[in-house]
Amino acid sequence: MTYSGYFIWIFFFSRGVIADSVRSLPHVMKYQPVIPQRLRDSSLINDAATHQTYPDVLQYSLAIAGQNYTLYLEKNKDLVGKTFSVTHYSDQGTQVTSTPDLGVHCYYHGHIVGVEDSSASIGLCSGIKGFVRLRDQMYLIEPLAGTEAGQQDNRQNSEPHSDEGLHAVYNYKHLRRKRSSCSHGNTTTFYDHGAHPSGLFQLSSLKSSAQIKDRTGKPRTVELVVVVDNTEYKKFGSKKTIVARVLEVVNHVDKLYRPMGVRVMLVGLDIWSDRDHIEVSSVPEVTLGRFLKWRQQNLLPRTKHDNAQFITGVDFDGSTVGLANVNAMCTANSGAVNEDHNINSIGVASTMAHEMGHNLGLSHDTESCFCGTSKSKGGCIMSESVGLEYPKQFSSCSRQQLSRFLEEINPACLLDTPSTNRIYGGPVCGNAFLEPGEECDCGTVEECKNPCCNATTCKLAEGAKCAEGECCESCQLKASDSVCRPRAGDCDLIEYCTGFSASCPTDAYTQNGLPCNSGKGYCFNGQCPSREQHCKRLWGPYAHVAADACFSRQGNCRKTFGQRCLSRDQSCGTLFCSGGSEFPVTSSKTYKTLPNGDTCNEAIMKPEDNYPADLPMVPTGTKCGSNMVCYNQRCQDIKSIKAYGTNECSAKCNNHGVCNHENKCHCDHGWAPAFL
């Protein structure tokens, strides 16, 4: 039974609760009062003996929609990085940075025992607050009595079946939300209206095949900084309350991304306690531009991070609550703006997950997308708008897009897996990172789908020889003649399993200088570079090399000083392209139109962009003549360049192999192991 208004008061008095101590919930239309019971499981750690206020594992008995469930919770030990810091500002504008002791915090992830399709994100700092998803329904829980947000209970009670006090449980559809503009009706809130494109859509080809092929399936970590504006700070009234709310938000965002193989770790929080450090406009596009400029000039130089999310208390125009650049992760534009549009943190957490999704290359869901096991088309995180329900999961389309973004675009900053000394508490079984002392780590018991790994102990299952890897199949090592990494191009080599390791041998490629692409190029570091392909990487699949006149009139052969090319080096300097997208992956360009109408487009780099410094230039190794390649922006003879080696190695391979990049024989299959 749900309660509202007058009926709640009857319940309070019948339970002996003083009415004045009960919080009102004006942001909730109706809810069910419950008293969660903390349980003791003899198989869990005896927290009473260790005097842990917030132990690693907890269980609660909780009534949801008239039925009793057991809520299983594990502390999210990867929520914050070890270098996590909070910066606020004195009245005089001086930065004050502190490092809170969050080694023992109160934020958890979990699930409903016995319900496979369930999840939970919970904070226990001041009562029980968070979300619980039961299949395609999401429920919210928050305390009706006790301390305010941001104030810890200081509870030491670890007795079994302890009373956690009166709480409200309600379906998320009953949470009041921001009203939209009249043109969209009054039940729809829009996350953004056409997030801007930004860089990186084909950068995979700039990386070696080893980087792309060896990184698939491994967890990525977004190291996040959250920035809170002055309006938001004043709304909640204290630094402590803001810190608690942001941790609650990021804990929820991390939980949403975990099934996608992405972790979100908070490494910094910047609270504008004195004033706004940019002019925060009600126009989201304007605020986004100003915030990203501030990030580049002020935040990036002092705090290493991958992504920055701005939370504002300003009401954006119309029904929009967030805006972000698409494909911007790991660039100078990696960030978003989010309006905190609901007293419950689920609102801004959902917005942040959505906008970060754009940064990760996700577009809005279409009619063909669904999320959850019920094939529901509603409640997906990348839906363009929120109707009567907040999103619960990423859709099938989002999963495919993220997989493509990670495997093809392969943003470098996410490959920087945090070492255990950067994660609070050191190695943790169940965080999906293989760490010292572990034979495997498939995530939490809830997440683990790997029959070869014991999720509780992070040891191999009985009889298993391996748990993951290109050379692991059905928990056993593959035979030595099994291909584990097929050839990815003219300049790549096939790798075979060794028979004694679950990992594929190190990716090898041909010796530099071998002909490729039907003689149109020469191999260089596993690639067959060309001006034509590089134009497509920079400007999209319909781009091509510009007219020769662009190179002879405009070409520069030095990135820094704009040095003009000698005649023989013109094809090795600045890369000019024609056609393709309006802007390149760097988001900036210059162009010139020749008298005959031909266009010379040049991609421009900004100092703060996280791209290779020579990205706008003709790629190193590009063929510029017979036995001639571009090297240091000059057209040089291959034989004069040390990086191109000699033919001596190939002569030692007895016509049954080729020379690889380490100048060793990479033998044909059946003759001998590679690298002899």
Judge whether residue 100 has pLDDT over 70: yes
Give the per-residue pLDDT at 155.
47
Instruction: Show the tokens assigned to 217.
Output: 């399936």
pLDDT tens string 542-554 = 999 999 888 887 6
Instruction: Show the tokens assigned to 151.
Output: 């104030």
What secondary structure, in 3-state letters, does 400-414 show?
A: HHHHHHHHHHCCHHH
Judge whether residue 208 has pLDDT over 50: no
pLDDT tens string 303-360 = 999 999 999 999 998 888 999 988 888 888 899 999 998 888 988 999 999 999 999 9
Mean local confidence (pLDDT), 228-245: 94
Q: Give Cβ neighbours of residue 260 (< 8 Å, ≥ 6 apart).
A: 394, 398, 399, 402
Catalytic residue among 142, 164, 285, 355: 355
* Alpha-carbon distances, residue 65 vs 2, 31, 62, 102 (angstroms): 8, 10, 10, 34
**DSSP state string for 405-444:** IIIII--GGGG-PPPGGGBTTS--TTSS---TT-S-----
Give the per-residue pLDDT at 565.
73
Give the per-residue pLDDT at 424.
58
Instruction: Show the tokens assigned to 439.
Output: 């034979």
Cα separation of 585 and 18, whole Å? 61
Which of helix, strand or coil describes residue 380? strand
**DSSP state string for 544-580:** EEPPHHHHHHH-BS-TTT-PBPPGGGGGGSB--EEES
Mean local confidence (pLDDT), 2-18: 36
Instruction: Show the tokens assigned to 133.
Output: 């998803």
**Count of beta carbons in the 10 Å neighbourhood of residue 639:** 9
Cα separation of 71 and 650, whole Å? 63
Q: Strand 599-603 vs strand 322-326: parallel, antiparallel, or unpaired?
A: unpaired
Q: Give Cβ neighbours of residue 545 (< 8 Å, ≥ 6 apart).
A: 531, 532, 535, 575, 576, 577, 578
Binding residues for Zn(2+): 354, 358, 364
| 473 flagged as catalytic | no
239-257 and 346-359 helices, crossing angle to 10°: 50
Which of helix, strand or coil describes residue 617? strand
Check: CB of residue 633 under 8 Å from CB of residue 569. yes
Q: Strand 577-579 vs strand 589-593: parallel, antiparallel, or unpaired?
A: unpaired
Q: Give Cβ neighbours of residue 84 (< 8 Å, ≥ 6 apart).
A: 99, 100, 102, 266, 267, 268, 269, 424
Computed over every residue of the chain, the mean pLDDT equals: 80
pLDDT tens string 373-390 = 655 556 789 988 765 567
State the pLDDT confidence band at 99, using cuts at 50, 70 and 90.
confident
Which of helix, strand or coil describes residue 20? helix
Beta bridge partners of 165: none
**Count of beta carbons in the 10 Å neighbourhood of residue 656:** 12
580: left (phi over 0), alpha (psi -120 to 50) or beta: left
Beta bridge partners of 393: 380
Q: Residue 32 carries which side chain, given as an amino acid letter?
A: Q
Please name the residue ranges forming H helices in 570-676. Answer: 648-651
Q: How many residues are given for the chain?
A: 676
Give the per-residue pLDDT at 142.
92
State the pLDDT confidence band at 429, using cuts at 50, 70 and 90.
confident
Question: Residues of the chain with pLDDT > 90: what percent?
Answer: 41
B/e letters for 50-83, b = 16+ CB within 10 Å, e = fewer, are eebebbbebbbbbbbeeeebbbbbbbbbbbbbbe
Check: CB of residue 363 under 8 Å from CB of residue 403. no
Beta bridge partners of 224: 266, 307
182-420 CATH choice from 2.40.110.10, 1.10.1840.10, 3.40.390.10, 3.10.310.70: 3.40.390.10
Cα separation of 296 and 426, whole Å? 31
Which of helix, strand or coil describes residue 19? helix
Beta bridge partners of 189: 386
Check: CB of residue 342 under 8 Å from CB of residue 372. no
Beta bridge partners of 225: 268, 308
Least confident of 30-44, 171-185, 527-541: 171-185
State the pLDDT confidence band at 210, using cuts at 50, 70 and 90.
very low
Give the per-residue pLDDT at 190.
60
* Alpha-carbon distances, residue 225 vs 156, 163, 269, 594 (angstroms): 32, 36, 6, 46
Binding residues: 354, 358, 364
Cα separation of 97 and 81, whole Å? 15
Check: CB of residue 244 under 8 Å from CB of residue 150. yes
Candidates 108, 120, 101, 102; CA nearest to 55 is 108
Domain boundaries, the chain: 6-75+106-174, 182-420, 515-644
Give the per-residue pLDDT at 552.
81
pLDDT tens string 137-153 = 889 999 987 555 445 55
